[in-house]
């Protein structure tokens, strides 16, 4: 079973977290969004309270999520954004609109595509085996790199991470493999619901050039948050919330 915390009133807004995290990452946004939406804070399979969980193939995980999530507006951050794009493609009847945050149709860099070097993902995978905690903390540091108050942002992310059980090593390795191999570039043009893409200008994981790359493939509305890194909803919460409310026409 997928663990989902639901609160608020109004249209459904489903939030999917990123790799290594859990739904506690959205804690600071909840008071500002529940007056407008019924929030569904999802622990992805194998994360947080959605444990124990036997790792399955990407397609099976997507099917399970689509079966258990309500129909509504779907917001995904980082890996959660990749998952949200896949759900919107395969189960369009489930998704009223799509919001991808610091996410990409393909996370790996190539000569024609901005992203992370594959070697970085390999290093994270290797690091998980030798020092699980240190590897996660290094990932947190990359997420906040260059943000105006990076130390405070890291502290907030750590607090969210520690609220719930840590994901298994198996699940973390599987997530890194998905980030490395899942590539939706050839099909994201088929997403036909309203789509907002939010980027951080200082993001080292989904670099700002991704905005232009995705613009060539979709008709999505795009927003770049200045001085934000990979977690713009943490470093710039009010601006982020304003963009969400404006996009969903409730501001």
Residue spans of alpha helices (H) in 69-205? 79-90, 118-130, 132-143, 150-162, 169-181
Choice among 203, 214, 229, 236 that is catalytic = 203
The contacts of residue 128 (CB under 8 Å, 6+ apart) are 135, 169, 172, 173, 176
Distance of CA 195 to the CA centre of its chain: 14
Catalytic residue flag (residue 186): no
Q: What is the DSSP letter of 163?
A: T
Choice among 50, 78, 97, 100 that is catalytic = 78
Catalytic residue flag (residue 230): yes
Catalytic residue flag (residue 78): yes
Residue 232 near residue 144 (C-beta atoms within 8 A): no
Distance of CA 61 to the CA centre of its chain: 15
Question: How far apart are alpha carbons 43 and 16 in whole angstroms?
Answer: 7
Could you give the residue numbers annotated as active site? 78, 203, 230
């Amino acid at each position: 079973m997928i663990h989902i915390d639901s609160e608020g009133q109004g249209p459904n807004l489903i939030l999917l977290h990123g790799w290594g995290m859990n739904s506690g990452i959205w804690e600071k946004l909840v008071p500002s969004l529940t007056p407008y939406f019924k929030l569904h804070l999802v622990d992805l399979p194998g994360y947080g309270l959605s444990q124990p969980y036997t790792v399955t193939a990407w397609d099976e995980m997507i099917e399970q999520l689509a079966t258990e999530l309500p129909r509504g507006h779907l917001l995904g951050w980082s890996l959660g954004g990749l998952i949200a794009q896949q759900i919107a493609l395969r189960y369009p009847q489930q998704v009223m609109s799509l919001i991808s945050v610091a996410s990409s149709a393909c996370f790996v860099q190539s000569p024609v595509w901005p992203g992370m070097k594959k070697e970085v993902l390999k290093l994270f995978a290797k690091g998980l085996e030798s020092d699980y905690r240190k590897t996660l903390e290094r990932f947190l540091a990359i997420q906040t790199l260059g943000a105006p108050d990076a130390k405070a942002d890291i502290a907030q992310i750590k607090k969210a991470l520690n609220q719930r059980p840590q994901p298994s090593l198996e699940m973390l390795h599987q997530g890194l493999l998905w980030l490395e191999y899942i590539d939706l570039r050839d099909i994201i043009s088929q997403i036909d619901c309203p789509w907002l893409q939010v980027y951080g200008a200082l993001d080292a994981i989904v670099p700002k050039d991704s905005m232009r790359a995705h613009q060539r493939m979709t008709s999505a509305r795009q927003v770049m948050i200045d001085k934000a890194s990979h977690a713009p909803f943490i470093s710039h919460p009010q601006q982020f919330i304003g963009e969400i409310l404006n996009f969903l026409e409730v501001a």
